[in-house]
Amino acid sequence: MTVERARLSIPAGTPCWIELVTTDIPVARGFYGALFGWEFEQHDDPREGGHVIAHRDGYPVASIRESADGRTRWRLFLATPDSAATAAEAGKLGGHITVPRSRVPGLGVKLVLATPADDEFGLLEPDATWQFDVGLPGTLVWAELVTIKAQAADHFYGGLFGYTGEQFGTDHLSDYEVWYLGGDSVLARVCMIRDHLSPGAHAHWLVYLGVDEEVGTDEMVRTAVAHHGRVRVDPYDSSLGRVAVLRDPLGARFALVDPSQATDYGSAGNDDPYDD
């Protein structure tokens, strides 16, 4: 997955922004700032209140916003040239708007939808001045939708954005599907394993944030734990790189990945038992 800096037009359905929805913005800033060296800029939204834009080396990489429902999670935004039209198409496929359209200066017009797979995602019409760093340390590298309703997810997202899918594993062991736009892989969908589900489990997007190869995933995990993060899945080797799954101090699940350590063996999916 590659998104260029200041690119004015990207294909609909391409990941183009990530947002941390959290119950304590100062705590989140302290944790991710210590982990990735992010710097933060306060913004005021007349409709949604204050939020924070995180930067790496001067380029925006994510936003942090106060949670309205007491839950913390990472939210993925997908590009669209017309958020109203795409939201209308999503409605025909069983989706519905949960956060109405609003404009964020320098970012664009955004809204949030819930889907028949019980997850949520954002749509973003990027502004002409939009910038988003990806594929580097401290930025988005990959994202996976983790849901028990795999067929519903494939139907919804494939119908909305025209994704084609390639299945890995088996339905009863490791149901992992990579979604493509043209010949480019953009996202993946992971089917939750019923035997691993807890009563409080939610469908969610797992965002993979890059690790500097000179530091390494294992050392980043130690840094995260020292700043009150929790390990959900210990570091392991995969076709994506050296991966670990963690929670931040407020409970938001995310993954670390060092792509320089990618192998031609191991899992491309995560082994988190999905409990909340």
The answer to whether residues 108 and 36 belong to one domain is yes
Residue-number span of the structural domain to which 99 is assigned: 15-126
Task: Quote the strand ranges of the chain, DSSP E.
Answer: 15-22, 39-45, 49-56, 59-66, 73-79, 96-104, 108-114, 120-126, 140-147, 164-168, 176-181, 184-191, 204-210, 230-237, 242-247, 253-258
Both 252 and 145 in a single domain?
A: yes
Please indicate, yes or no, if residue 1 is contained in any of the structural domains. Answer: no
Burial grade of 106 (CB within 10 A; 0-12, 13-18, 19 or more): middle
Residue 9 is assigned to a structural domain of this protein = no
DSSP per residue, 180-222: EETTEEEEEEEEPPGGG--TT---EEEEEEE--TTT-HHHHHH
162 in a domain, yes or no? Answer: yes
Please indicate, yes or no, whether residues 168 and 98 belong to a single structural domain of this protein. Answer: no
Residue 270 falls inside a structural domain: no
Cα distance between residue 187 and residue 119, in whole Å:
15
Q: Mind listing the pLDDT tens digit of every residue in the chain (276 residues)?
A: 544 444 447 899 999 999 999 999 999 999 999 999 999 998 876 666 678 999 999 999 999 999 988 999 999 999 999 999 999 999 999 999 999 998 888 889 999 999 999 999 999 999 888 888 899 999 999 999 999 999 999 999 999 999 999 987 654 455 899 999 988 999 999 987 765 556 567 899 999 999 999 999 999 999 999 999 999 999 999 999 999 999 999 999 999 999 999 987 544 444 454 454
If one counts the domains in the chain, the total is 2
Token reading at 200: 């409080």
Q: Considering the domain boundaries, does residue 3 fall inside one?
A: no
Q: Are residues 111 and 151 in the same domain?
A: no
Same domain, residue pair 120 and 144 = no
- For residues 73 and 182, state if they share a domain: no
Are 105 and 176 part of one and the same domain? no
d(CA 86, CA 269): 29
Indicate the residue among 91, 126, 161 that finishes a domain.
126
The letter for the amino acid at 178 is: V
**Global confidence as pTM:** 0.91
Phi, psi dihedral angles at 194 (to 5 degrees): -55, -35
Structure confidence at residue 195 (pLDDT): 53
Cα gap 50→124, rounded to integer Å = 18
